[in-house]
């Protein structure tokens, strides 16, 4: 099971199911809150619910969202095992939307929805679950680099300084941001992550700063932006370097004035949020004024934290490997197994170009598919064992003969690796190079653990 939709209107549920199941797999419809507990209590060997789309009202005449809020609170009591929740309502009161987000909902959608907006929100929620579920509160690693990083976080977190987190894809930048929030004075307030690379230029202002009803063609209801939703807490701006220069200018204005003006509003609203941002762009490119505004950079990088790639902290590989193997064994109801000496040696020697995210996906695959009494090197499907680039494992298409079968998935993965390396991790440029939308590129990067 992948996605649950809880909505008393069967027509709404069916429309959402038809839209989502083509991209995200199985979708199950529920019409009554009483059915939810059984649906979430999956058998140990079954695939858990990964996302819940939740209506806010279930009885005629009720429009205050109290019923949905009650369901949301019950779901969140599951703690780390709770799926992300996207709230759906036809009554998009600002107070209700903000209350839902502050209570712990991932995001909200107004009905009738925009198909592109709904699918993008679902994709972001599923990616968020994959990124944060295995490690609940701390950054794992006993290497010197990780000990130094944790010490810096402990020093920085209690302050109000803006923090810029640098690191490669999959290295754990969002976990660093969450740790900063957890150890800060704002820990009891909202932590809200925004993937700026997934926002289009046309929706950027509305998503970040909100809009009033009628402010543009599809603005059927008033909607708060991410800054308002994170009021009093921490706003994590991921992939900040992928903002176009025009968007960077608007963000700079908000950070300077500490206020936002929703689209269609006559006056600005003060905001009180701490900003933690992140990018996988290298530092030299960040100081290129053609790609990133220097004045915005100086607003964001009061403190700079660098997350080391996994290949630079190989002492942590075996610890992480054992952690994720145990995690997925519990999640899928599989027996705990050890790794062979050959598997441990290959994992330690592997460069892990997708960093911790790639290691996590390799562990999940091994737990699900391995047949032996212990894990062997082949169970992790690593491309080569040493320090050669991942893409070198498969030769170019032009050099292949009919006698050398190469899975299409490997060719696609290598194309992604080559593109990301060519553009130095810039999602927008890589998507353009590959002829994909940014959302489609994000899904493929997640698929291959990059």
Average pLDDT for 84-105: 74
- Measured between alpha carbons, how far is 255 from 160 in angstroms, rounded to an integer? 13
Q: pLDDT band for position 374 (50/70/90)?
A: very high
Q: Work out the percent of the chain whose per-residue pLDDT is above 90.
A: 28
The first and second tokens of residue 413, run together, are: 């993965």
Fold agreement (3-132, 144-308): yes
CA atoms within 13 A on the CB side of 255: 22
* Residue listed under structure tokens 């858990």: 48
* Residue listed under structure tokens 């307030």: 189
Cis omega (within 30 of 0) for bond into 112? yes
Q: Which of 135, 47, 87, 130 has the alpha carbon at shortest distance from 334?
A: 47
In the predicted structure, residue 263 carries a pLDDT above the cut 90: no
* CATH, domain 310-388, list 1.10.8.60, 1.10.4190.10, 1.10.10.60, 3.40.50.300: 1.10.8.60
CATH topology of domain 398-450: Arc Repressor Mutant, subunit A (1.10.10)
Average pLDDT for 328-336: 89
In the predicted structure, residue 59 carries a pLDDT above the cut 70: yes
pLDDT tens profile 386-407: 433 333 334 444 444 444 455 6
In the predicted structure, residue 183 carries a pLDDT above the cut 60: yes
CATH topology of domain 3-132: Rossmann fold (3.40.50)
**Superfamily (CATH H level) for 144-308:** P-loop containing nucleotide triphosphate hydrolases (3.40.50.300)
Q: How is the chain split into domains, by residue range?
A: 3-132, 144-308, 310-388, 398-450
* Bridge partners, 3 (sequence order): 27, 51
- Measured between alpha carbons, how far is 160 from 139 in angstroms, rounded to an integer? 21
Q: Which of 26-35, 337-346, 381-390 has the highest mean pLDDT?
A: 337-346
In the predicted structure, residue 385 carries a pLDDT above the cut 70: no
pTM above 0.75, yes or no: no
* Residue listed under structure tokens 């996302």: 51
Work out whether strand 269-270 and strand 259-260 pair parallel, antiparallel, or are unpaired: antiparallel
Q: pLDDT band for position 319 (50/70/90)?
A: very high
């Amino acid at each position: 099971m992948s996605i649950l939709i809880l909505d008393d209107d069967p027509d709404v549920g069916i429309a959402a199911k038809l839209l989502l199941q083509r991209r995200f797999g199985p979708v199950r419809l529920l019409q009554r809150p009483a059915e939810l507990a059984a649906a979430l209590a999956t058998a140990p060997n079954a695939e858990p619910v990964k996302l819940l789309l939740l209506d806010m009202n279930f009885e005629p005449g009720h429009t205050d969202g109290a019923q949905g809020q009650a369901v949301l609170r019950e779901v969140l009591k599951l703690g780390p095992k709770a799926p992300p929740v996207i709230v759906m309502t036809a009554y998009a009161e600002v107070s209700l939307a903000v209350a839902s987000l502050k209570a712990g909902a991932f995001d909200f959608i107004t009905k009738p929805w925009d198909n592109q907006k709904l699918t993008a929100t679902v994709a972001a929620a599923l990616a968020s679950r994959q990124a944060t579920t295995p490690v609940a509160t701390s950054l794992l690693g006993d290497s010197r680099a990780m000990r130094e990083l944790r010490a810096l976080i402990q020093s920085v977190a209690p302050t109000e300084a803006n923090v810029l987190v640098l690191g490669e894809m999959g290295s754990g930048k969002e976990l660093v941001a969450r740790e900063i929030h957890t150890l800060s004075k704002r820990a009891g307030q909202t932590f809200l992550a925004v993937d700026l690379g997934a926002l289009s230029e046309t929706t950027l202002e509305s998503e970040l700063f909100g809009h009033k009803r009628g402010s543009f063609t599809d603005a059927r209801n008033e909607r708060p932006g991410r800054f308002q939703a994170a009021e009093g807490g921490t706003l994590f701006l991921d992939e900040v370097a992928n903002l176009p220069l025009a968007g960077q200018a608007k963000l700079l204005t908000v950070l300077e004035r500490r206020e936002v003006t929703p689209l269609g509003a006559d006056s600005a609203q003060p905001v009180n949020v701490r900003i933690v941002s992140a990018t996988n762009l290298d530092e030299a490119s960040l100081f290129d004024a053609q790609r990133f505004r220097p004045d915005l950079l100086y607003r964001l990088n009061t403190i700079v934290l660098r997350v080391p790639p996994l290949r630079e902290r190989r002492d942590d590989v075996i610890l992480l490997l054992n952690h994720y193997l145990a995690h997925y064994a519990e999640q899928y109801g599989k027996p705990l197994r050890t790794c062979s000496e050959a598997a441990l040696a290959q994992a330690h020697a592997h460069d892990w170009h997708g960093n911790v995210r790639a290691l996590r996906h390799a562990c999940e695959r091994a737990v699900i598919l391995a047949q032996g009494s212990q894990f062997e090197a082949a169970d992790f499907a690593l491309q080569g064992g040493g320090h050669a680039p991942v893409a070198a494992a498969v030769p170019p298409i032009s050099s292949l003969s009919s006698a050398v079968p190469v899975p299409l998935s490997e060719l696609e993965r290598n194309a992604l690796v080559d593109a990301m390396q060519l553009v130095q991790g810039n999602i927008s440029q890589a998507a353009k190079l590959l002829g994909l939308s940014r959302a489609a590129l994000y899904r493929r990067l997640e698929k291959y653990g990059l």
